[in-house]
Amino acid sequence: MRKKVSFTVPQSTSFKHALLQWAQQFDEVVWLDSNGHNDKYSSFDGLLAVDALTSLVTDSQDAFNDLKEYQNGAKDWIFGYLSYDLKNDVEVLSSSNFDGLEFPELCFFQPKKIIRIKGNKVDFLYLKMVNDEIEDDFNLISKGFFEKPHPIIETHPVKIKLRIFKDEYFKRVEKMLNHIQIGDIYEANFCQEFYAQDTVIDPLKIYNRLNEISRAPFATYLKIWDKYLLSASPERYIKRRKNNVVSQPIKGTAKRSPNKEEDALLIKSLENDTKERAENIMIVDLVRNDLSKSAKKGSVKVKELCKVYTFEQVHQMISTVVAKVSKSKDPVEIIKETFPMGSMTGAPKVSAMKIIEELEATKRGLYSGAVGYFTPNNEFDFNVVIRSILYNATNKYVSYSVGGAITAKAIPEKEYEECLIKAKAMREVLEGADTSK
């Protein structure tokens, strides 16, 4: 169905920049960048999908059945996203909070053109109708010369506002803690939005800056017409390779220090932090339970528990949970049975999501959802949409949200401080945006 042509490029970093610039001519773009974090679960250094042949855009009602039908019918690569509010298709839940971004709940497309980078090798996977464009496209990207260059977008200073102020945040966390004390939940992820109205940004420029300072393993640039996701996500939601499934929830964050000795102490402190470990272990139990719905009996295993990984901006505590599924298990069903991801909800999951909806001030939408792809042989890989800037160009609305796990031991002031650590990179690139061009 697709023609594959491979090339060798001398330096993949410059090719990546040129590739993303070239992609701006299309209305549908998904770019996934591992930024050199190649572990045993990685499949590529960079993966680009552009130019929809077919697409599925829908609200949450019956969304997973629609996706299953679309994925089964395409029998091809499809790329796209799942918003957090698809929870309403999985459970009897609703979303009625303010939404300034207005992204569809679910969007997937079958791209005419896929370009995959692994080391110095670049694979062009094009549908038959555009096969004759492979050589021309490769030459254009290699030279960094485009007939339709990325347009200069006139921008203005980004003035970030808080959706809820500090005192209000403390009040809402106290309400969350009250739910924990009376036994409604054990843990819940509580998020807050930072936003800017009547604001024009250059999405590609902002993404490149965010990626430069974050170098995250699940970085994403997504463009669906006038809606953009600029993500520096460090977290994998779920991946299927053959009959193996892996999920890598993050719970536990510490700031970085430019001083090596101090940075090493921060790692040690996070490793031994009983509260952070308790948060992580609770979510690992939730992920194990979610995966067991799809997995072969007795196959769910914890490969890594509370391991600290270091990124450009923060240290993170990550666990790795694996399982085996039968060959005939529908890929969309696996996702539906684990969605939304445990790290962004809480335990018990449904109760946590109800309380989250009650206490948060905005609809999450794509934030804490997932971006990724399905392959023709029913494999898939999805990230968690965190550390991300969302932008509706028509509404001129820019948003980023951050959150943290609230448990019985949570101290509202420390939770607020953790939110600011997580927001640092996004705030820097928006407030420090070059508005002179």
H or E element at residue 108 = strand 106-118
Looking at residue 151, its pLDDT comes to 62
- What pTM, to 2 d.p., does this model score? 0.95
Looking at residue 39, its pLDDT comes to 82
Q: Quick check: 157 and 44 in contact, CB under 8 A?
A: no
Scanning the structure block, which residue is given the tokens 């979610």? 290
- DSSP H helices, 223-329, are 260-271, 274-292
First-residue to last-residue Cα distance in the chain = 43
Looking at residue 148, its pLDDT comes to 52
Looking at residue 435, its pLDDT comes to 35
The residues, ordered by sequence, that sit 6+ positions from 54 with a Cβ below 8 Å of its Cβ are: 70, 74, 109, 110
User: Up-side HSE of residue 390: CA atoms within 13 Å toward CB?
Assistant: 25
- Locate the DSSP E strands across 129-272: 161-162, 187-196, 218-224, 227-233, 236-241, 244-248, 250-255
| Best CA proximity match to 324, nearest among 390, 419, 243, 400 | 243
Domains in the chain: ranges and CATH: 2-144+152-431 (3.60.120.10)
Pairing of strands 388-392, 227-233: antiparallel
H or E element at residue 424 = helix 412-431
For the stretch 34-48, pLDDT in tens is: 999 988 899 999 999
Paired with 108 in beta bridges are: 56, 80
Cα distance between residue 243 and residue 72, in whole Å: 18
| Sign of the dihedral defined by the CA atoms of residues 21, 25, 26, 27, in that order | positive
379 is an active site residue: no
251 is an active site residue: yes
Catalytic residue among 223, 251, 336, 422: 251
Looking at residue 147, its pLDDT comes to 52
Show the low-confidence residues of the chain (pLDDT under 70).
145-152, 154-155, 433-437
Q: Quick check: 113 and 49 in contact, CB under 8 A?
A: yes
Catalytic residue among 235, 276, 357, 418: 235
Tell me: cis bond preceding 258? Omega within 30 of 0 counts.
Answer: no
Rg over alpha carbons for the chain, rounded to the nearest Å, is 21
> Which two structure tokens, joined as six digits, stand for 350?
């449904």
Looking at residue 437, its pLDDT comes to 35
Pairing of strands 2-8, 121-127: antiparallel
> Which two structure tokens, joined as six digits, stand for 185?
């939940």
For the stretch 270-325, pLDDT in tens is: 999 998 999 999 999 999 999 999 999 999 999 999 999 999 989 999 999 999 99
